[in-house]
Structure 1
Amino acid sequence: MAAVHGPKRPSIMSRSPEDTTSVNLYDRLFEQQLEAGASVLLATENVVDAYLDNKPATRGKQKYSRHQRDSDFWSSDVVNGIPSEAWQAEGATLALARYLGQEPVANPLLLERIAAESPRLVRRAVRYSGLVLQQHSPRRTELDRIASSNPNIAEFCRMLDIFDGAYRERVATVDIWKKMLVDLSPFEILIYASLYAFERLNPAEFAMPWRPTEERSVAEGQWQAINDILIWKLATASATSLRPKEKDLGRSLRTHLSPYLFPSPDGPPPRHDLRAAFEALLEAQIELNSFISQSADAFSFDDGIEFVRIGDRALDIVERDASVRAAWKRDGRKLERLHGYWFYRALVEFFHSDLATKTIGLPENHEANRVACIRAIRTKLQLTDVYGLDDAVTTDSGVQVDLFQALLATELTSAFYQRDFLQAFVTHLNETGHWAPALSLLALEGIATGHNRFPLTWSDRKAKIERIVGWTVSKKSPRGSPLMAAAILDFWTNDLVTLAARLRQGEPGLHPKLFERPILKMDRLLIQLPWIFGLQNNSTAAINNLRRIGARRGDARLETRRIEEQLGRLFESRGFRVVLNWQPVDESDARAGEVDLICALGRIVLVLEVKSTFIRQSQRDAWLHGTTTLRKAGHQLRRKVPAVERALSEGSDLAAELNLAGDAGSVSVHGWIVDTSIECDHQRFSGFLKVSLEEVLIALRDDRHLLNDPAGILSGRFQEHDIAISDDAHTERSLYPRGFTVEGFMDAVEKEAVWEEPGC
């Protein structure tokens, strides 16, 4: 294929506009782009972007499926005639990665042609496609055929073979141990998970309110593996095991839990074989997950490294760009510091409220309840200021729940499990020196006082509502509200019966993780895991409960609009003129669409594209966010910024609203992508800077000192019962020592001054 030729023009001009069923929509779009005056390369790029953005969404009056879209795109004349230089563009590489990542549609001749011209591009697309873990795909067969005559692809396939062997080996090990536990019910799996947790999940740290990041990440890796095992069990369990009756629970407890807590020569012996098998399965699952995240995902999504083959069975990692890897770690540290920032914001709000002078709950629980209130305030501030939530949210059942009450309930639950389970267990562990008698003493204490102190707890819905109704006490409901308690319960509940049905039917969709909705429901039975509830990050749990699992809630659109409004008010507090949701009036700019936020001060204009998502925990998810949502945001700004510039230059109403009437030529317009997530922070998309919404918020508020743990609370220098803060206790050099200016604000954001630590 000669590089000088453009794609062949499809012959569609003689067809009627209504005849959409026989016309390739991507060829039609290409023709339209050329007729509008676009160059061949630009028209090609726009067609590729449409495909990556899952457009068109409909074909005539019918929904355009993913399979139909793939089929039309890869059979189109425009794609099969793309010039060589066009394949070097990022969008084309991502499109090729999508081809390699799907199975139904084949175009082996095109892949062979691209590989002959640019094997490096094909290798890159293979990495992005995730084919490394999908080597049963016919796309891998196509690569093998190409490898027979292409040494570069042949070497790459050898590396894929090594990955495939290592992956299959780990999957096989997991499957072997699963067979040992195939007869266990989901409830029994949770029993062995809980025994493991109290034996192995850093029991000495159960008594610590704050744990180092490294220790939390190890525990979270174990939680994820337990979550994976539970998902497997739900997908394979019988319907009756998901709806256990009282006699079933009794049998499970007598066989699998009581022998460890209350050993007796007259009772059944402990099932050490099953406990050992569960531990082996968990270790195998952790190893598999580690291989996927640290090897396969690194191979696929880490552009800072490259894998090289050593012999026939080993690979080595060569670092190609240290800055890429450093950026990933830096974003993780930013998340940690933001967590502290919101805690200190909550601390200030708490000590300026009437709660600071009240005894919260029973006197002996006051300090723990006080901290729970502060943490609930922390998460509410973050959810309202960053994610646009209102004072009430709607649960999956359609009932509205008071946001603060829902957050406070989970914080009080965490405090309860921390104090009455985890710390009490550590005390007994120090006395006995062994986890089993320590758990026995804990359970016996509960029996003596009429409470459940087993390593996992269970109750029916009515009993659980009665237990938490006291946490809904307010001026409106001085004795608490059972209706509110029920709504809070629903807010944090993961219905395992429904989830199991979806898994068995292979329905697509997101599955709540253990910490996102930590109340596990099996029919009328509600199960809680003290080692999850007592140690989880409730802030991340709440954000992902609402923004990941609940992304399709009816309130989500209103919340997005509220984010823009609140950010606009914050800009206005600094003297900016703000226009929300501006629509271009010029027909030539119609494709630009609605502009989320336009802020002007002096002769500088900021055009902001606001994105709201959730907190990601893997490199793969971060890469997907960058190559989908953020990439699309860059393209949107590429259209919106010129539309704003034209409107201002033409003396439109927009100029008057922004107080920019007069010499429009002196106006400087800048576009930013402002995103609620930290991923890809300070990267550029289509030339536009991506920054986190929280960074913009901190820069406008000028309170970056709260990022630096000013009282040493998070570093452990203070115990929680010593928490106190005053208005002037944390004065630190302002971002604007000579006063706030728009130039100073932009400089602070663009140079990441918000993130500078003391001494930097």
Structure 2
Amino acid sequence: MIGAYYDTVFDAAQAQGLPVETAADYAASAFLDGKPTRQGKRKSSGAGRHAAFWASDFLRTLPVQAWQQESLGLALARYLGQDRFACPDILAHVAKLAPDVLQQAARHAGLVLRQDSARWREMEALADSQPETFSEFVQLFRIFKQAHRLRVDEIERLRQPLASLTPLDLLAYASLCAFEHLLPDLLEGRDMPKAPDAQEVWDAVEDILAWKLGTCDAAGLRLTDTAIAASLRQHLTPFLFPSSEAPGPRHDLYAAFAALLDAQIELDAFISRSAEAFSYDDGVRFVRQGERLEIIEVDAQARAAWRIDGDKLNRLHQYWLYRGMDALMASPELLALVSPAHLEANLQAFAKAMGTWLRLQEVYGVAEQVRSEAGSSVDVFRALLATELMTAFYIEDFLRPYHQHLQQLGHPWLALGRLAFGGLLQPAMQNRFPITWSDRAAKIARITPWTVTPEHPKGQAQAAEAILDFWTSDWSAVAERLREGDVALRPRWQERPVLMMGRHLFQLPWMMAVQNNATAAVNNLRRLGARRNEAREETRRIEYRLGALFEQRGFRALVGHELPAGASDDADAGEIDLLCALEGHLLVLELKSTYQRRSVKDAWVHRTSTLRKAGWQLHRKVPAVRHALQRDAALRHALALSPEAQPQITAWIIDTSIEWDHQAFRGFLKVSLEEIQIALRDERRWLNDPEGLFRAACVGDATTRLAADSEPIDTLYPGGFSAKQFIEVVETAAVWTGTA
């Protein structure tokens, strides 16, 4: 029965002679892991588990040391993060026993931005009963609430002049803003440390468009040629082609959009750098100085780790481009498909697509074909190639000429007008506006030549259609989800950058030309597509491919090994993702496959859910493996382990994401899957940009060179590869040293 489940877990741990703190940790970990999953024949509900856990008798008898464990603090954060179940007496109990734990749980629950919650009212009540402990804490929250309210109210006010505009109208002003304020700095390579970066601006524009999609009339998304022409004639072309015979530019609306954008950037920055930092960044502390707050850094090492992980991610992008170039140069068939027009840009597009394809295969287990949301089967490499060729097209045919016009004319509107007019003068009247659009048939025709293969020298329209589906975000569907309050998996527009309104498809050259298509592809599949039918197969494929890479180095590898019943004292040990043995060393690997995160909040959730659970799994599995090796001769034989000697066991959490790299979870090291692969392949050199491809100052004058065959400039194994040396390379993070 679920009501006694957690007391039973606690009692069983104590019966094994474990300390009370450990027994409480076991029970709290079971709760955090969603156990029990069923109550009789029915699935257990989250509210039911809360009710059962917080009613457990053992919680009222725990010493302060038990509450100071991470699992108990996270359980409190889970309670404070929901509104379906109330148990205020447990807060009063912990407040007297371990107030610092409760305060941290309130932060981790994100209550600073949820002060309308019933759980926050329970916290506020503690300021009355224990003012010396909680009144200052509550005051901090109230300052955050006021600051947040001021920013939200300002945005509500600034939205009013734009309330009647359609999403396309807003896209016009966003595009004008991008060409005036974003692209000149990017093209010139200027460093603007006090200004928001491009990603912050894009995110703010996306938030504004999400507001518009959630509030606009559905008819505003069923665009016709007439509606598109009317919108652009009023909101875009007067800036590009001013005329005394036509209505002038709507500078008032452009100024209103710019003001709203600034306010949205400010709100987003407040949330990410203040509210979410307060909630999820344990490397800082907020101190009240009168009616304002100051941030004090309390753990410089933890904050530096976040920046270092970001640098590693950038270097991994370099690594995969070099891998892609190497694969491209080894494929005459692919090289034959590269168009001689804009040869350098097209070569780079092919190399980038190949690098991302290798990454999706080796790191994420993606097969050659996947299903789009529309149900079509997509050739993944061709989909990647299509988006990279789109980027190359927008760089060569939009950004470069725009940059030249801007240098000549000195004003963004004049430069944009020259660019658009030049397109109209071409024989086929090319669209060179800041927004491009076409109907579905025309877009398929445009993509079809990019699907050329030796078997289909003219390409395939069906393949082009599938590619289009893969990259398309249906704004009518997104708007419906937003109106219903479902924002959990709203596509970031870079993840699906072809925007569908009615039968027309829109793209933004100013975004497509500079976005990271590799990240877009990964998150398209692994974030938005996490529930795809292929996702489970991909996870298994990751394990097998990594196992094969270990075998190439001489390891014996077992994938998905199930310990036989009775082989372990721990009935919950479960499946071992990967066992690898060589030279008396045995690696026990727990693999986790997720997506690439951008916020401190998302990273914290990953650490306290997926990675915390992985550490707990290894905590159970390593003793189970050791126990099985003592009894299972077949297992030792399969791993080529000597029957006499005990192997030296090393256990790691292997994760497809870079967050929390080289940190320990229950004593087990977490490393990225890509680091393991690079260490096994001995390819550290490609992390260090040996050809200088990433040293170009900016988009406008960047040049790209394909790497020639070159000798490795260093090796991780100067004395030859061995299991012991490999383990040392990983545990000392040697892959990341030796920067060029």
TM-score, length of structure 1 as denominator length: 0.93
The residue aligned with 2:308 is: 330
User: 1:174 aligns to what SS in structure 2?
Assistant: helix
Structure 1 residue 300: deviation in Å?
1.2
Q: What letter matches 1:576 in structure 2?
A: F
- Contact kept, 8 Å, 2:449 with 2:458, in 1: the verdict is yes
User: Which segment drifts farther, 25-34 or 403-412?
Assistant: 25-34
The residue aligned with 1:614 is: 595
The residue aligned with 1:172 is: 153
Indicate how the Cα distance of structure 1 residues 364 and 97 shifts in structure 2: closer, same or farther if over 3 A, else same. same
Matches of 1:256 and 1:71, distance apart in 2: 56
The residue aligned with 1:667 is: 647
Deviations 1:412-449 (A, max 9, x none): 00011111111111111112111111111111112222
Alignment partner for residue 273 of structure 2, among 276, 279, 294? Answer: 294
Alignment partner for residue 258 of structure 2, among 279, 283, 294? Answer: 279
Matches of 1:420 and 1:613, distance apart in 2: 36
Q: What letter matches 2:364 in structure 1?
A: Y
The residue aligned with 2:493 is: 514
- Contact kept, 8 Å, 1:86 with 1:92, in 2: the verdict is yes
User: 1:384 aligns to what SS in structure 2?
Assistant: helix
Structure 1 residue 521: deviation in Å?
0.9
- Unaligned 5+ segments in structure 1 are 1-19
Aligned residues: 733
Q: What letter matches 2:619 in structure 1?
A: R
Structure 1 residue 192: deviation in Å?
1.0
In the alignment, is residue 155 of structure 1 matched against residue 136 of structure 2? yes
After TM superposition, the structure 1 = structure 2 runs for residues 87-106 of structure 1, keeping only pairs within 5 Å, are 87-106=67-86
User: 2:695 aligns to what SS in structure 1?
Assistant: coil
Deviations 1:47-79 (A, max 9, x none): 211221122223222232323332332334344
Indicate how the Cα distance of structure 1 residues 357 and 118 shifts in structure 2: closer, same or farther if over 3 A, else same. closer
The residue aligned with 1:244 is: 223
Structure 1 residue 181: deviation in Å?
0.9
Deviations 1:530-578 (A, max 9, x none): 1111110011111111111111111111111111111111111111111
User: 1:202 aligns to what SS in structure 2?
Assistant: helix
Matches of 1:349 and 1:692, distance apart in 2: 23
Q: What letter matches 2:650 in structure 1?
A: H
Indicate how the Cα distance of structure 1 residues 500 and 724 shifts in structure 2: closer, same or farther if over 3 A, else same. closer
User: 2:341 aligns to what SS in structure 1?
Assistant: helix
- Contact kept, 8 Å, 1:651 with 1:661, in 2: the verdict is no
The residue aligned with 1:50 is: 30
Matches of 2:162 and 2:192, distance apart in 1: 33
- Contact kept, 8 Å, 1:674 with 1:693, in 2: the verdict is yes
The residue aligned with 2:122 is: 142
User: Which segment drifts farther, 143-152 or 494-503?
Assistant: 143-152
The residue aligned with 2:437 is: 458
Indicate how the Cα distance of structure 1 residues 283 and 466 shifts in structure 2: closer, same or farther if over 3 A, else same. same
After TM superposition, the structure 1 = structure 2 runs for residues 205-354 of structure 1, keeping only pairs within 5 Å, are 205-206=186-187, 218-311=197-290, 313-354=291-332
- Contact kept, 8 Å, 2:555 with 2:582, in 1: the verdict is yes
User: Which segment drifts farther, 280-289 or 66-75?
Assistant: 66-75
- Contact kept, 8 Å, 1:116 with 1:150, in 2: the verdict is no
Structure 1 residue 24: deviation in Å?
4.9
The residue aligned with 1:4 is: none
Q: What letter matches 1:48 in structure 2?
A: A
Deviations 1:691-733 (A, max 9, x none): 001111111111101111111111129986551323334x223
Matches of 2:464 and 2:313, distance apart in 1: 31
Matches of 1:755 and 1:71, distance apart in 2: 47
The residue aligned with 1:542 is: 521
Alignment partner for residue 352 of structure 2, among 375, 397, 415? Answer: 375
Alignment partner for residue 756 of structure 1, among 734, 737, 740? Answer: 737
- Unaligned 5+ segments in structure 2 are none
Indicate how the Cα distance of structure 1 residues 650 and 435 shifts in structure 2: closer, same or farther if over 3 A, else same. same
- Contact kept, 8 Å, 2:185 with 2:191, in 1: the verdict is no
Indicate how the Cα distance of structure 1 residues 693 and 191 shifts in structure 2: closer, same or farther if over 3 A, else same. same
Q: What letter matches 2:594 in structure 1?
A: T
Alignment partner for residue 108 of structure 2, among 110, 125, 128? Answer: 128
Structure 1 residue 262: deviation in Å?
1.9
Matches of 2:109 and 2:299, distance apart in 1: 21
Structure 1 residue 613: deviation in Å?
0.5
In the alignment, is residue 716 of structure 1 matched against residue 693 of structure 2? no
Indicate how the Cα distance of structure 1 residues 291 and 476 shifts in structure 2: closer, same or farther if over 3 A, else same. same
In the alignment, is residue 477 of structure 1 matched against residue 456 of structure 2? yes
User: 1:608 aligns to what SS in structure 2?
Assistant: strand
In the alignment, is residue 598 of structure 1 matched against residue 579 of structure 2? yes
Structure 1 residue 605: deviation in Å?
0.4
Matches of 2:191 and 2:560, distance apart in 1: 42
Structure 1 residue 84: deviation in Å?
3.1
Indicate how the Cα distance of structure 1 residues 212 and 199 shifts in structure 2: closer, same or farther if over 3 A, else same. closer
Structure 1 residue 161: deviation in Å?
1.4
Matches of 1:108 and 1:159, distance apart in 2: 21
- Contact kept, 8 Å, 2:215 with 2:483, in 1: the verdict is yes
After TM superposition, the structure 1 = structure 2 runs for residues 1-80 of structure 1, keeping only pairs within 5 Å, are 20=1, 23-27=3-7, 29-30=9-10, 40-80=20-60
Deviations 1:136-184 (A, max 9, x none): 1122222222112231211111111111111111111111111221111
Q: What letter matches 1:716 in structure 2?
A: A
Structure 1 residue 85: deviation in Å?
2.7
The residue aligned with 2:338 is: 360
Matches of 2:151 and 2:51, distance apart in 1: 34
Q: What letter matches 2:305 in structure 1?
A: A
- Contact kept, 8 Å, 2:337 with 2:452, in 1: the verdict is no
The residue aligned with 1:399 is: 376
Matches of 1:567 and 1:458, distance apart in 2: 42
Structure 1 residue 645: deviation in Å?
0.4
Matches of 1:523 and 1:32, distance apart in 2: 60
Matches of 1:306 and 1:253, distance apart in 2: 48
The residue aligned with 1:10 is: none
Structure 1 residue 372: deviation in Å?
0.6
- Contact kept, 8 Å, 1:584 with 1:590, in 2: the verdict is no
- Contact kept, 8 Å, 1:457 with 1:530, in 2: the verdict is yes
Indicate how the Cα distance of structure 1 residues 318 and 711 shifts in structure 2: closer, same or farther if over 3 A, else same. same
- Contact kept, 8 Å, 2:348 with 2:704, in 1: the verdict is no
The residue aligned with 1:108 is: 88
In the alignment, is residue 676 of structure 1 matched against residue 676 of structure 2? no
The residue aligned with 2:727 is: 746
Alignment partner for residue 562 of structure 2, among 579, 583, 592? Answer: 583
- Contact kept, 8 Å, 1:359 with 1:366, in 2: the verdict is no
User: 1:201 aligns to what SS in structure 2?
Assistant: helix
User: Which segment drifts farther, 713-722 or 514-523?
Assistant: 713-722
The residue aligned with 1:627 is: 608
The alignment's C-alpha RMSD in Å is 2.1
The residue aligned with 1:727 is: 709
TM-score, length of structure 2 as denominator length: 0.95
Matches of 2:697 and 2:285, distance apart in 1: 42
Matches of 1:234 and 1:161, distance apart in 2: 31
- Contact kept, 8 Å, 2:342 with 2:396, in 1: the verdict is no
Matches of 2:41 and 2:194, distance apart in 1: 54
Deviations 1:324-366 (A, max 9, x none): 01111110110111111111111222222215864722x3322
Matches of 1:553 and 1:525, distance apart in 2: 27
User: Which segment drifts farther, 481-490 or 643-652?
Assistant: 643-652
- Contact kept, 8 Å, 1:606 with 1:669, in 2: the verdict is yes
Indicate how the Cα distance of structure 1 residues 509 and 390 shifts in structure 2: closer, same or farther if over 3 A, else same. same
Matches of 1:508 and 1:191, distance apart in 2: 24
Matches of 2:509 and 2:60, distance apart in 1: 58
- Contact kept, 8 Å, 1:473 with 1:480, in 2: the verdict is yes
Q: What letter matches 2:31 in structure 1?
A: Y
After TM superposition, the structure 1 = structure 2 runs for residues 181-200 of structure 1, keeping only pairs within 5 Å, are 181-200=162-181
The residue aligned with 1:644 is: 625
Q: What letter matches 1:498 in structure 2?
A: A
Indicate how the Cα distance of structure 1 residues 589 and 717 shifts in structure 2: closer, same or farther if over 3 A, else same. same
The residue aligned with 1:385 is: 362
